[in-house]
């Protein structure tokens, strides 16, 4: 795993913090899972292997 930096809007960060606190998950894991889900969705939509 490699470390990367991304910018989130204030609202995005606020919502991520709210959700991760409620589900007891760290923010990094939440973002990784969200990216994985979005990648699968896009790959299916554009037929990317």
Q: Phi/psi zone of residue 24: left (φ > 0), alpha (ψ -120 to 50 degrees), beta?
A: left
Q: What's the pLDDT band for 37 if we cut at 50, 70, 90? A: very high
Domain assignment present for residue 37? The answer is yes
DSSP state of 48: -
Q: What is the predicted pLDDT for the residue at 47? A: 98
Average pLDDT of 9-34?
Answer: 98
Domains held by the chain: number = 1
Residue 24 structural domain: 10-45
Q: What is the predicted pLDDT for the residue at 24? A: 98
Q: What is the predicted pLDDT for the residue at 8? A: 98
The count of C-alpha atoms lying within 13 angstroms of the C-alpha of 41, restricted to the half-sphere facing its C-beta, is 6
Domain assignment present for residue 1? The answer is no
pLDDT mean across residues, the chain: 98
Q: What is the predicted pLDDT for the residue at 13? A: 98
| C-alpha to C-alpha distance for 41 and 45, rounded to whole angstroms | 6
Average pLDDT of 13-42?
Answer: 98
């Amino acid at each position: 795993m490699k470390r990367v930096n991304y910018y989130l809007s204030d609202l995005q960060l606020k919502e991520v913090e709210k959700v991760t606190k409620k589900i007891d998950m760290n923010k990094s894991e939440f973002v990784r899972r969200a990216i994985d889900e979005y990648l699968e969705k896009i790959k299916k939509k554009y037929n990317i292997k």
